[in-house]
Structure 1
Amino acid sequence: MAEPFLSIQGVKKSFGPTTVVQDFNLDVGSGEFVSFLGPSGCGKTTVLRMVAGFEEPSAGSIHIGGRDITRLKPNQRNVGMVFQAYALFPNLTVAQNVAFGLKVAGVSKADSDRRVAEMLDLIKLPQFGDRYPYQLSGGQQQRVALARALAPKPKVLLLDEPLSALDAKVRVSLRDEIRSIQRELGITTIFVTHDQEEALSISDRIVVMYGGKAEQVGTPFEIYNRPQTRFVANFVGTLNLLEGTVTDASTGAVQVEAQDITLPHKLNGAQTGEAVSLALRPEAITLGPRPENDAVLRGEIAEVHFLGSVIRVRVGVGRSVVSLDTFNNSATPPPTVGQKIEISFSSNDLLVLH
């Protein structure tokens, strides 16, 4: 990465004896869209609030464009923030809401009116300027909140779970719109969410957080396909967990439910007989052997759920149950419960969890 535009270094936050963020480090490039992903209470919103200036770090520093903003007040940082609950002023029209930050900054009425018109065009609500928030849908209110945050031309845009109060269909539409607007403006953006699909679909990079720490930072592809910790593997995507036993660490040989599999790498440091946890994504598994798959496990069909274009199958492999999806084929009937079956996959797709 070139010189970071937003740099968060060694940041810690404690409330009394409780530490909610510990040794958090992140560099964000200019125009980059980074999502903070994690469960409630993991510290992601606290980090966002420290960047915004609503919380002061107990330790560490925050820089934007090379400028130290760690101790500055929120209105001195040139940062725009969009909240989960819209936070629109109910007694102001849409246009007045969007113009609020401009008015506080002392922008002339003519320039403000021009900027408001630009923002309403950007969020595709040009005809809604005279309406009040109560006259808008939730999705429209959140668009207005976004326009209000962007109107003063902030250097960094912060979004704190902005879609969580909306229904599923509106969420998908609005998240794509937010990403499109962010790309158009080229604004550096931090997006907080607990929804993995949201983070995977719109981010340049994802910071997976747990217990006040960054568990892993990477692209959506890296986070999903190469999780570095057990938590990341379990939290992001659906995962099959298989318990194995090392039979030869020097060759990567393990047994899973008394069936032999050879991993594509050595298990350095492992001892023969040692337990090892293996993870496998459902989409990596096929019913029956395939020439390209070097690993096979025998089992029995435990459940079959017909979902239209997809058939969700659960296969009992010894004491374990493995889930996989297969596409519906009108010429081939789905498997039946109790049927003996082989599942196959590439050993390269097995993740060893630590």
Structure 2
Amino acid sequence: MSFVNISNVVKSFGTNTVVKGFDLAVEKGEFVSFLGPSGCGKTTVLRMIVGFETPSSGSITIGGKDVTNVAPNKRNIGMVFQAYALFPNMSVFDNIAFGLKISGMTKQAVSVRVEEMLKLIGLTHLASRFPYEMSGGQQQRVALARALAPKPDVLLLDEPLSALDAKIRVSLREEIREIQKKLGITTVFVTHDQEEALTISDRIVVMNGGRADQIGTPNQIYNKPATRFVAGFVGTLNIIDAKVHNRDDGTVLIGSKKIQLSDPIEHVKSDGMVSLALRPEAFSIVPDAAKDVSLDGTVTSINFLGSVIRAVMDVEGREISFDMFNNPSLMLPDVGDKTSVYFASSDILALPA
């Protein structure tokens, strides 16, 4: 049986239903991320897990115990917030020790546990400092240590990195993942940053309009999106409307170009059109035996993105983005050039209408 079970949960605020029939089973020790745009319901689900909100219907169990109506302080859950929420008048040591003291732990036991947490987050030398004397990344490490100090059954993180600059955000998310693996603690992480979710998660829940559009591994979410929303939200994607030429043999027309799909055409609009999805990195401007399809067009823009160069070409009135590595030896097309791009038919994903 899964360690955290959310079963058919609905949450309404007056006439506004923000979570709609949400189901999720999280295994013990698993790292699951909720990913989605603002207002999709991900933080509301997190608040129901911790007990800050009560479901309008449905149930939540942790470790086999129904906690749907149990008070937050009785759930043994650690919570890390976006805004750190540290006590400004307390030192690092006392911030981490706060929950332990309230639980009635002896002074010696508190000291031992706090030292363990300081070592875990690498801030032993800053134990006597106050939050205002520390960087944002250091404060968030202290908030994490405080959440972990009481040895919670579940760790919840509500966009804990969004207030930090890019470089610190990357290093801290890696630290969080390493600590989570080391402790083996069941973790739910809320983010709107797809790169964060793809980098550190065992599984990702992509939320849209109060529902889970897809639940899967980062590989599944990125390479096999289940809905048009997931396909468009996670990563950059070309959506190409093609005309079905022959549903039985899987051929479609992009303009006048006939293409044989490797998978059956299951989702066909009433007008005989199908939406095809292709990632920009699937294309190459160099012919390759493994890439059995080509499209011809005119380059309309070139954008340098560091290690990657993203170009846009017009193919019979359709804009298609394709990526190239910034290789000095590669002859890149210029804006206005006629060029061909090559890709494998197996890279094409036919999406629901």
TM-score interval, smaller chain: over 0.9
**Within 2, Cα distance between the matches of 1:272 and 1:77?**
51
In structure 2, the partner of 1:290 is 288
| Offset of residue 307 of structure 1 | 4.5
Secondary structure in structure 2 of the residue aligned to 1:287:
coil
Cα distance, 1:269–1:192 mapped onto 2, change above 3 Å = closer
In structure 2, the partner of 1:12 is 10
Cα distance, 1:11–1:295 mapped onto 2, change above 3 Å = same
In structure 1, the partner of 2:165 is 167
Cα distance, 1:308–1:223 mapped onto 2, change above 3 Å = closer
User: 1:189 is aligned with what amino acid?
Assistant: T
- Are positions 1:114 and 2:94 aligned together? no
**Within 1, Cα distance between the matches of 2:280 and 2:310?**
10
Contact 1:30 1:188 in 2 (8 A): yes
Contact 2:78 2:154 in 1 (8 A): yes
User: 2:183 is aligned with what amino acid?
Assistant: L
| Offset of residue 332 of structure 1 | 3.3
In structure 2, the partner of 1:316 is 314
**Within 1, Cα distance between the matches of 2:204 and 2:269?**
35
| Offset of residue 343 of structure 1 | 0.9
**Within 1, Cα distance between the matches of 2:173 and 2:305?**
26
User: 1:95 is aligned with what amino acid?
Assistant: F
Q: Could you report, residue by residue, the CA deviation over 1:174-195 in whole angstroms, capped at 9, with x for unpaired residues?
A: 0000000000000000000000
Contact 2:267 2:274 in 1 (8 A): no
In structure 1, the partner of 2:229 is 231
1:68 to 66, 75, 78: 66
Q: Which runs of 5+ in 1 are unaligned?
A: none
**Within 1, Cα distance between the matches of 2:69 and 2:16?**
21
TM-score, normalization by structure 1: 0.97
Q: Could you report, residue by residue, the CA deviation over 1:22-49 in whole angstroms, capped at 9, with x for unpaired residues?
A: 1111010110000000000000000000
- Are positions 1:95 and 2:93 aligned together? yes
Secondary structure in structure 1 of the residue aligned to 2:299:
strand
| Offset of residue 311 of structure 1 | 2.4
1:54 to 52, 69, 85: 52
| Offset of residue 52 of structure 1 | 0.3
Cα distance, 1:271–1:104 mapped onto 2, change above 3 Å = closer
**Within 2, Cα distance between the matches of 1:198 and 1:309?**
19
Cα distance, 1:272–1:157 mapped onto 2, change above 3 Å = closer
| Offset of residue 352 of structure 1 | 1.0
Contact 1:115 1:151 in 2 (8 A): yes
Deviates more, 1:44-53 or 1:261-270: 261-270
| Offset of residue 309 of structure 1 | 3.6
Contact 1:243 1:256 in 2 (8 A): yes
| Offset of residue 269 of structure 1 | 6.9
Q: Could you report, residue by residue, the CA deviation over 1:250-307 in whole angstroms, capped at 9, with x for unpaired residues?
A: 1111111221111113324748961111110011111143211121111111112344
Identity %: 59
**Within 1, Cα distance between the matches of 2:267 and 2:104?**
65
Contact 2:156 2:189 in 1 (8 A): yes
User: 2:193 is aligned with what amino acid?
Assistant: D
Cα distance, 1:10–1:333 mapped onto 2, change above 3 Å = same
Q: Could you report, residue by residue, the CA deviation over 1:305-334 in whole angstroms, capped at 9, with x for unpaired residues?
A: 344543222111111111111123333332
In structure 2, the partner of 1:248 is 246
In structure 1, the partner of 2:339 is 341
In structure 1, the partner of 2:205 is 207
Quote the RMSD (CA, aligned, Å).
1.3
**Within 1, Cα distance between the matches of 2:198 and 2:86?**
29
User: 2:34 is aligned with what amino acid?
Assistant: F
| Offset of residue 119 of structure 1 | 0.4
In structure 2, the partner of 1:143 is 141
How many pairs were matched up? 352
Secondary structure in structure 1 of the residue aligned to 2:180:
helix
**Within 1, Cα distance between the matches of 2:308 and 2:240?**
24
Q: Which runs of 5+ in 2 are unaligned?
A: none
User: 2:11 is aligned with what amino acid?
Assistant: K
Contact 2:60 2:66 in 1 (8 A): yes
Deviates more, 1:19-28 or 1:272-281: 272-281
